[in-house]
Structure 1
Amino acid sequence: MVHSANLNVMMKTARRAGRALLKDFGEVENLQVSTKGPGDFVSRADRNAETLIREALMEARPTYGFLGEEGSEIEGQDPTRRWIVDPLDGTTNYLHGMPHWAISIALEHKGDVTIGVIYDPVKDEMFFAEKGSGAWMNEKRLRVSGRIRMIESVFATGLPFAGRADLPESLQDLARILPTCAGVRRWGAAALDLAYVAAGRFDGFWERRLHPWDMAAGLVIVREAGGIVEPLDPNGDIMADGAVICAAEPIFEKFAKTIRK
């Protein structure tokens, strides 16, 4: 399979960061942890991974901008291109020794995400897509689920923690969706939730209060796998509002109507 130069750089960088994170994951009890806010932890491994990714990407493409979770934004000499990176999506899972976390790297061109890479080092699953070239997991072409009945479908979401103000909305969402479907999963890594929709493992996903680095790579991967991706508010903007809903086409309308009521 032939990849673009940028995609090759992204995949190579994700694997390097994955190897570094796996070393610390094996000794999770010894990690030095500080707190960013209630229920939101950041580890030394997280910061080191972002540094590794930033340096590798900036060395390969020194004129591009960079937006990462742990550091301030870097304005590039080329104002049309920007890396968007989450060095460790699923930090809480990582710090609790739960093997469900990933590295997310996206490339934005003129405000549009054109390439996305999500790498799960524990399972060695590399999800990636380049606009117009389809979505893949390792060597396997991805397609969203073909299920057409809500009652047979499994959905994913994120739930607020530590008293976040959107708890009532989330509880209302669950009250509407749970009677209509086969289940809802909350696995704590939005990037992997999106990748799993692209792979047909989840039939749909929705969440509020996300950041660009949580979902940038996943959005292009879902779209290239044939999924529909929209703002949670039909009149909103996904990246600006941080609220997204996506699913396979056969059930998207019913799913979105249920959540948006």
Structure 2
Amino acid sequence: MSFEKITLEVTQLAKAAGEFMLAELKHFDPTKIEHKYGENFNLVSYVDKETESRLVEGLSGLLPGSGFITEEGTVEQATDQEFVWVIDPLDGTTNFLHAYPQFCTSIGLLQGGKPVAGIIYEPFRDEMFYTWKDGGAWMNKERLSVSKVDRVQSSLLACGFPSRQNQKTEAYMNMILRITKESHGFRRIGSAALDLAYTARGWFEGYFEYNINSWDIAAGILLVQEAGGTVTDFKGEENYLFGGEIISSNGRIHQELIDMISESMA
């Protein structure tokens, strides 16, 4: 099986998904916004669901018998197969609903629970990020490499803010405040997939978040790794895809980030 061939075929599906989203945005009816679980911040629309359905159909044809983990649950969720697609059809839904140009489609492929291909498409700028195992990381045919900055003090970082409050929330926010003062600052895009893509591109030195889902990060994990970066959980271990927390970086500042996060979140 050629992961390169599969990846390049999936980029065409992602491109079509992005074109559909942009077309719908031109005449989107805000009365069609839904709230998941009754939460004001947890939004979804028919665009998310229709995009996911189209992707599932196309991916099923590319790799018959594969399983799916998807955000919107438009297909039976199955993880027992050797190959599993992990899809966020519209990462950055709130941005999309406000016509803020920071959203994307994220598609990861797992083999035996490990990422072997990843595609992230940002339609506003027509930026296609893609990678496959041992194939490098790419954006629009340009090979990507993480930045060479070697200190948090000189780093621009990305993070996500937890929407749901829990016992870690205050410590997490205090930790962000601390690192803000000891770095070049944070950017909060509102799309974990793009945070990872931009880390692979070298625009960010690192990105971290907790209360994160597998469909947000499955594609971006491999992108960062293939660009020469490092991905772990907050403990520096490998429980990041389904563990609910992630640190990604250029590798050079990784241990420093782990230490700072560990001190704050202990």
Alignment of 1:228-247 (within 5 A): 228-235=230-237, 237-247=239-249
Which deviates more from structure 2 when the two are superposed, residues 117-126 or residues 168-177?
Answer: 168-177
Going from structure 1 to structure 2, the CA distance change for 1:99 and 1:208 (only over 3 Å counts) comes to: same
One-letter amino acid of the structure 2 residue matched with residue 124 of structure 1: D
Alignment of 1:171-250 (within 5 A): 171-235=173-237, 237-250=239-252
Q: Is the 8 A contact 2:34 2:45 kept in 1?
A: yes
Match of 1:51 in 2: 53
One-letter amino acid of the structure 1 residue matched with residue 203 of structure 2: R
Match of 1:111 in 2: 113
Q: Distance in 2 between matches of 1:133 and 1:205?
A: 23
Match of 1:32 in 2: 32
Match of 2:18 in 1: 18
What 5-or-longer segments of structure 1 have no aligned partner? none
**Matched pairs, number:** 259
Q: Is the 8 A contact 1:28 1:97 kept in 2?
A: no
Alignment of 1:143-162 (within 5 A): 143-161=145-163
Q: Give the superposed CA RMSD.
A: 1.9
Identity %: 35
Match of 1:75 in 2: 78
One-letter amino acid of the structure 2 residue matched with residue 189 of structure 1: S
Give the TM-score taking structure 1 as reference length: 0.93
Q: Distance in 2 between matches of 1:239 and 1:3?
A: 20
Give 1:60 shift. Answer: 2.2
Give 1:164 shift. Answer: 5.5
Q: Is the 8 A contact 2:180 2:186 kept in 1?
A: yes
Kindly provide the CA deviation profile for residues 174-219 of structure 1, in whole angstroms up to 9, marking residues without a partner as x. 1321121001111100000000000000110000011110000000
User: In the alignment, is residue 130 of structure 1 matched against residue 132 of structure 2?
Assistant: yes
One-letter amino acid of the structure 2 residue matched with residue 118 of structure 1: I
Q: Is the 8 A contact 1:146 1:250 kept in 2?
A: yes
Q: Is the 8 A contact 1:194 1:205 kept in 2?
A: yes
Q: Is the 8 A contact 2:145 2:227 kept in 1?
A: yes
Going from structure 1 to structure 2, the CA distance change for 1:165 and 1:10 (only over 3 Å counts) comes to: farther
Q: Distance in 2 between matches of 1:169 and 1:236?
A: 22
User: In the alignment, is residue 61 of structure 1 matched against residue 48 of structure 2?
Assistant: no
Give the TM-score taking structure 2 as reference length: 0.92
Kindly provide the CA deviation profile for residues 35-71 of structure 1, in whole angstroms up to 9, marking residues without a partner as x. 1032110011000000000011112222111111001
Q: Distance in 2 between matches of 1:190 and 1:16?
A: 21
Task: Give 4+ residue runs of structure 1 displaced > 6 Å after superposition.
Answer: none
One-letter amino acid of the structure 1 residue matched with residue 26 of structure 2: G
One-letter amino acid of the structure 2 residue matched with residue 111 of structure 1: G
Match of 1:99 in 2: 101
Q: Is the 8 A contact 1:102 1:121 kept in 2?
A: yes
The residue matched to 1:132 in structure 2 has which SS? coil
Q: Is the 8 A contact 2:3 2:117 kept in 1?
A: no
Q: Is the 8 A contact 1:118 1:191 kept in 2?
A: yes
Which deviates more from structure 2 when the two are superposed, residues 67-76 or residues 92-101?
Answer: 67-76
The residue matched to 1:160 in structure 2 has which SS? coil
Give 1:235 shift. Answer: 4.9
Q: Distance in 2 between matches of 1:185 and 1:103?
A: 20
One-letter amino acid of the structure 1 residue matched with residue 141 of structure 2: E
Q: Distance in 2 between matches of 1:222 and 1:234?
A: 16
Q: Is the 8 A contact 1:104 1:117 kept in 2?
A: yes
